[in-house]
Amino acid sequence: MKNLVLSVVSLSCLASGSSWQSDDDSLQPLETLLLALQPGALSRTGTRQATHRPRYDFGHHSSHVSMMANPDSKPTGLVWPTAEAAEKLKEIDGIRLYPTHAWLDDHVPFQAAKEPMSKDPVMIGVAADSGCGKSTFLRRVMGALGTEVTPGHTAIGDMMTVVCLDDYHINDRAGRKATGLTALDAAENDFDLMGAQMDALKGGKAVYKPIYNHDTGFKDPPELLEPNDLMIFEGLHPIYDEKARNSLDLKLYIDIVNDVKFAWKVKRDVEERGWTEDQVQADIQKRLPDFSRFVDPQKANADVVLRYEPSDKGLPYLKVKLIQAKGGAFPMVTLKNPVSLEGTPGASLKMYDDTWFGNDVTVLEMDGEIDMEKQEAQLKEIESNLEGLNGKSATELTDAMVKLKSSPGSENGTGVWQTVIAMKIREVYEKATA
């Protein structure tokens, strides 16, 4: 079976290790990708994930699972760039090994895998700002692929591995305070090593990947990572660097407009953390320059964008768009006829052509929410009007959505387009491994 490397940008982690907090890493990046991909719980129930950093939850149960951070984590005490760190800098095969990554003497950037892979990996990238979340999206992907993973710092299953790109932050939390740079800044991320290791994994090699410990804020010694059939690299910048980007066969970006981002953050931070709305707005504005410079431009190179806007009916309802590049790597899905669903507020679906950063795109747009008491019937109406799903059955999308009915976003375009993306990821995988 061919390797599939799914790079989910945060995924910020959709991106970085940062939530919308000044600390820059109170939320896991890939976790951060699905507060956005999980907006449904906010719209009516007022619920939100816990105030502490979320944990991976890829299974079928609601309990969260520990990230299994190293309890013996210790700081390197180094900051890059400084003279002290420069004295300890090593280079192997043209790759600089920053001592801030806590390399051990026997570590190398890449080496032969324990078990040779029969085919080169398929690489899929997903990028987004932090504060988005991720668990439900990955469950939809795993449901489409029929696989699971065992949670850990790097979650690994029999065919799928989830790698957080925050691991490629050059400095630890204290180091970034010393440099005065955020985790979003390109200067704080080791793109040379990231690109080289993604390329090595694509070639079926194993790598010693750095570890950024979100619990302690330290850089732990690198871990040996073997190639797998499906590998998810999630973080802020998987599409940013040219070498990493060129290794990707499919690139996904999660795009959250500021009004939606502000509404979600207010819901969480005002009610759960005691912030004022002015503090929330100031925090977003503080991150905005680096986000605009280093994260947001990636969507111009994405094959597909999942975009969140305020509903025409007003927040907290959402308008969720699936923006598909024409002639891109994402297998196109189209809408035969516009759909209008009854309910409060009800939902509408339409399709149109547009231009996105100079690229011709086809947009599928879902505004509002389905009636959850009529979920199955309304989903079947949606599915019957979608062409190009390439499902395993005529109701695969509906069945998958009903199975995860209680998951956040299941009542709006979040769940629908997540499920479509999951099915198309499978299609890309199966085509590559045929």
Question: What pLDDT digit, counting tens, does each position of 264-273 carry?
Answer: 777 777 877 7
Helices (H), 114-163: 135-145
Provide DSSP, 269-288.
Answer: HHHHH---HHHHHHHHHHHH
- Render each residue's pLDDT in the chain as its tens digit; 434 residues: 444 444 444 333 333 333 333 344 444 433 333 333 443 333 333 333 333 333 333 333 333 333 455 767 789 999 999 999 999 999 998 999 999 999 999 999 999 999 999 888 888 888 877 655 456 777 788 888 888 888 888 888 888 888 888 999 999 999 999 999 999 999 999 999 999 999 999 999 999 999 999 889 999 999 999 998 888 778 899 999 999 998 888 999 989 888 888 887 777 778 777 888 888 888 888 888 999 999 999 999 999 999 999 999 998 899 999 999 999 999 999 999 999 999 989 999 999 999 999 899 999 999 999 999 999 999 999 999 999 999 999 999 999 999 989 888 899 999 999 999 999 999 998 898 88
Quote the DSSP letter at residue 99.
G
Residue 427 CB-half CA count within 13 A:
17
Going by C-alpha positions, the residue among 206, 228, 61 that lies closest to residue 157 is 228
β-partners of residue 320 are 308, 366
Quote the DSSP letter at residue 169.
B
Helix (H) or strand (E) holding 413: helix 413-433
Longest dimension (CA), the chain: 67
Token pair in block for residue 178 = 């010393």
Helices (H), 291-384: 375-384
Query: Are 202 and 246 in contact, with CB atoms under 8 Å apart?
Result: no
Q: How far apart are CA 263 and CA 363, in angstroms?
A: 24
3-state secondary structure 367-388: EECCCHHHHHHHHHHHHHCEEC
Residues 6+ apart with CB under 8 A from 380: 395, 398
Q: How far apart are CA 234 and CA 155, in angstroms?
A: 12
Query: Are 127 and 9 in contact, with CB atoms under 8 Å apart?
Result: yes
Question: What pLDDT digit, counting tens, does each position of 161-187 carry?
Answer: 888 889 999 999 999 999 999 999 999
